[in-house]
Each structure stands twice: as C-alpha cells, then as structure tokens.
Amino acid sequence: MLLCFLAYLLHMNVLIRLRNSCSFSVWAAWTTDPGVSNPFSSGTELSADETFSLFVPRDWSGRFWGRTGCSWRQAPGSSTSKFICDTGDCGSGDISCSKRGTPPATIAQLNLPARYSVSLLEGYNLAISIAPRNSSCSWAGCKSGSDANSGCPKELAVVDKSNIGRVIACKSPCLGLNEDQYCCRGRYTCPLKCSPSQYARAFKDACPRSSTYPCEANTSSYSCLGASEIIATFCPP
C-alpha cells in the first residue's frame, strides 16, 4: 500500500508559486540540476506584490533565485542590447536563464518529492523563504523583514556602481575571502574542525533556517512528503 501511495505521489505535479513581497521588481529565475530528467529552465519579471505560478514534475530537482537591477543594456562596442542584472545574472542576455546565476545570490533549492532548503553558501542578494502551503511542515530560509545586505561587512559587500555606498549583495566568506577556515577545507574539515565564522553567524541572524557555512550544506534542509504546493517568497513580509 505504501509503495502504491509513493508511486501516486511521484506522478503528480507540484505547483510552485513565486511571490515578490519586495517593494521593487525582482526577476525570478530557475534551472534544473544537472542529470535530472525533463530539464527546464526559465525566468520571469515579478513586479512588487506580484505572484507567478508554474508546475514542476514531482521528482524535479532544481534551484530558484531572484535577480535585481535588471535591464536591457547596450554592451560596449556592440550595436545590440542584452538583458543584464546587477545581481544573480545568469549570462544568457535574456530574461530566461539556462545556466545558474553568478554569485552572490540567495538560492532556494528543491529536491522533490520532499526536500527543500535555502542556501547562502553562494552569498546573499535577497531574503527568500520557502514553505509548503497549508501544511504543518516547517518553512526554510530568511525571517520576516530581514536584510543581510544592510549589515554586510565592507570586505564582502557588492556595491551598486551607479549609487556608490548602496550594498546590493553580500558575498559568502568563502567566496569573498577564499580562506580555508571559511571554506571548511584543508585542515578545517567538516564537521569537527570547521565552525561558523562571525560572517556566517551574521547571515544566520537574517536567515536562521538556511545554510550559512559549508558544514551546514547537508543539515539545513527540510522535508515535507506529499506537498502539492510550495511558495517561495522574495522579501518575506
């Protein structure tokens, strides 16, 4: 009986709702993980308070992220315009993405039929929360009203080129400093010899249910078998 129930779940699609609760536009993007059957990737603009819905296969694995500061721009020395984003750009030159975004960017990961997580291991650009709808299952990601950019240290900050001083993203300590103690490598191995740095702890304050340093990569995911609808929210209110 259990096997029949699991088989039934695997043949259902899951509704994903991408909700923009930010006060500005976010260009959502999603890509399928390598090696997953039925791959699909794309992107869409979400104005403030707008929601976009899509269906994914019950056994789908992939990631979602938000891009900011996007516009069609003419590249230097070129007569054509390309779609470019200040954060999370995937290099496609278009609103749709076929490849992963450029760090730093906050990542919402789905490994269906059950698992979901939010990761700051590639840095942070937007607060994201993700949770099954109408369920007792836990939410993952960043808490309401959080903004890790506001407290990002200078050595990790990505600053808006057109508005000097405004932090638009925050690199992860491994990405920004590239030292063994922050990347949990060399003699700083998981799980006993690598602990969260002050940078990771600051990330954790903003996003308490997310991976903020490498040793958390496999321990900060959540499970909700049978969820038929999942909501990912940018700038959770």
Q: What is the pLDDT of residues 59-104, one digit of tens each?
A: 999 999 999 999 999 877 777 899 999 999 999 999 999 899 999 9
Element (H, E) at 233: strand 229-234
pLDDT at 8 over 50: no
* Percentage above 70 pLDDT, the chain: 94
Amino acid identity, position 27: W
Per-residue pLDDT reduced to its tens digit, 195-229: 999 999 999 999 999 999 999 987 889 999 889 99
Say what the alpha-carbon torsion angle 210, 94, 159, 208 is, to the nearest 10 degrees: -10
β-bridge partners, 159: 167
Q: How far apart are CA 136 and CA 200, in angstroms?
A: 28
Annotate 201-232 with DSSP letters as a single string.
Answer: HHHHHH-TBSB-SGGGTTTS-EE-TT--EEEE
**pLDDT single digits (tens) 167-202:** 999 999 999 999 999 999 999 999 889 999 999 999
**β-pairing, 229-234 with 107-111?**
unpaired
- Tell me: pLDDT of 20 over 60: yes
Neighbour tally for 217: CB within 10 Å: 15
The better pLDDT of the pair 9, 228 is held by 228
Average pLDDT (132-149) is: 93
What the chain holds in terms of domains, given with CATH numbers, is 2-234 (2.60.110.10)
Residue-level pLDDT at 191: 86
